[in-house]
Copies of this chain bind each other. A is one copy, B any other.
Amino acid sequence: MNKSLNLRTRTAGGRPSGRVTMATVGRLAGVSQVTVSRALSDPSKVSPATMQRIQDAIDITGFVPNAVAGALASRRSKLISALVPSLTSSVYASMMQSFSDLMRDNGYELLLSECGFQAETEEKLIAAHLSRRPDAFYLTGIHHTARARQMLIGADIPVVEVWDLTDAPIDICVGFHHREVGWAMADFALEAGYKYAGTVSAGDERALRRRDSFVDRYSARGGTCVGNVSFSDSASVAHGRAGLARLIDEHGFTSGLIACSSDLMAQGILIEAQKRKLSVPDQIAVLGFGDQDFAAYLEPALTTIRVDRPALGTSAAQAILKRLHGGSREQSRVDIGFQLIRRESA
């Protein structure tokens, strides 16, 4: 009684619950510190009566367990590091969402940083994150510096590379072949009867790879590629509009299909076409990438490549969890595929 009063006073005062430890709780409940630890990690290992007293003590003190100490002692941080190129791009965000949901359901929190599109920036962040001893690592893409790979391998934790596929993953990789996306877009363009095409792309490496394979296949099968416009930074509606303008004004594009690196670019093209009173898809056909939320609700509705982002996130999380719990050791590769969704814009 007296004790609890003391504790309440402290809680009301200056530096409170931060100082409450398992030892404090144990003292109040009349048990040792270890018993408190057990009660929290596995209640079945503690008698119901003891459990109750501990619970009361926790309520009184407002005890919040110190996961830092726990992590140091157990060598498990319950933290997952994640590096994404951009927080603002809803493409990455929407897959991150399903990834983190599943992780959190299993007791893991996310240490998230934005790494941009440069491997050197990523390398520094990997070092910073590894010092926090995450239990697993999420990376976007398959291109990393040699030192980054080395550090990651040295850390001896599950590493998942998402959004792309390679024969030599660091550990696990979940994604799809961007080259095949380009091919599918080219085949579609040809089969739909578009003899002329242009491309508008953002500056990231995967987008450029899709574009290159599109152009190769399209040309190889007899299409005429009128011009390629690319921007060094991320996709945006503004770039989409400027992209169509440049295709027309600088490359003499008059009609045909435009293959975009993302739905956002495609949206910009739709708007610029509308402004210039060019009919879509008759004069200008537009093919997006991503099948973002808005794609089906544009006017005309966007024909695009759908990537199942929730599945991407879920698969990545499942692969990590399997390693973490099950403990399987073999490298794994999951091809999530993609799908061309034909709507009205092409």
CB distance from A218 to the nearest CB of B (A): 28
Contact A297 B238, CB 8 Å, known A110-B112, A154-B11: yes
**Most B CB atoms within 10 A — which of A88, A89, A133?**
A88
Q: Nearest CB to that of A309 among chain B residues? A: B88
Contacts of A267 in B (CB 8 A): 294
Q: Is the CB of B111 within 8 A of A65?
A: no
Asked if A35 CB lies within 8 Å of chain B CBs, one says no
Stretch among A15-23, A160-168, A177-185, A253-261 lining the B interface? A15-23
Q: Nearest CB to that of A69 among chain B residues? A: B72
Q: With the chains together, A299 CA to B67 CA distance in Å?
A: 52
Q: Is the CB of B97 within 8 A of A114?
A: yes
Q: Is the CB of A275 within 8 A of B298?
A: no
Q: With the chains together, A104 CA to B128 CA distance in Å?
A: 10
Asked if A25 CB lies within 8 Å of chain B CBs, one says no
Q: Is the CB of A241 within 8 A of B72?
A: no
Asked if A33 CB lies within 8 Å of chain B CBs, one says no
Q: Please tell me which one of the listed residues B101, B150, B237 contacts residue A293 in the complex, with CB atoms under 8 A apart.
A: B237
Q: What per-residue 1/0 map shows which CB atoms of A240-257 lie under 8 Å from chain B?
A: 010000000000000000
Q: Is the CB of B130 within 8 A of A293?
A: no
Q: Is the CB of A113 within 8 A of B110?
A: yes
Q: Nearest CB to that of A131 among chain B residues? A: B67
Q: Is the CB of B297 within 8 A of A68?
A: no
Q: Is the CB of A64 within 8 A of B109?
A: no
Q: Is the CB of B236 within 8 A of A294?
A: yes
Q: Is the CB of A62 within 8 A of B268?
A: no
Asked if A156 CB lies within 8 Å of chain B CBs, one says yes
Contacts of A297 in B (CB 8 A): 236-238, 241, 268, 271
Q: Is the CB of A62 within 8 A of B271?
A: no
24 of the cross-chain contacts (CB-CB < 8 Å) are A11-B154, A16-B156, A17-B154, A18-B155, A62-B154, A64-B131, A64-B151, A64-B154, A66-B72, A67-B132, A68-B71, A79-B111, A87-B93, A87-B94, A88-B90, A88-B97, A100-B113, A100-B114, A111-B112, A237-B294, A237-B297, A238-B294, A238-B297, A267-B294
Footprint of B on A, CB under 8 Å? 11, 14-18, 62, 64-69, 71-72, 77, 79, 87-90, 93-94, 96-97, 100-101, 104, 109-114, 127-133, 150-151, 154-156, 236-238, 241, 264, 267-268, 271, 274-275, 293-294, 296-299
By Cβ-Cβ distance, the 4 closest A-B pairs, closest first, are A237-B294, A17-B154, A67-B131, A88-B93
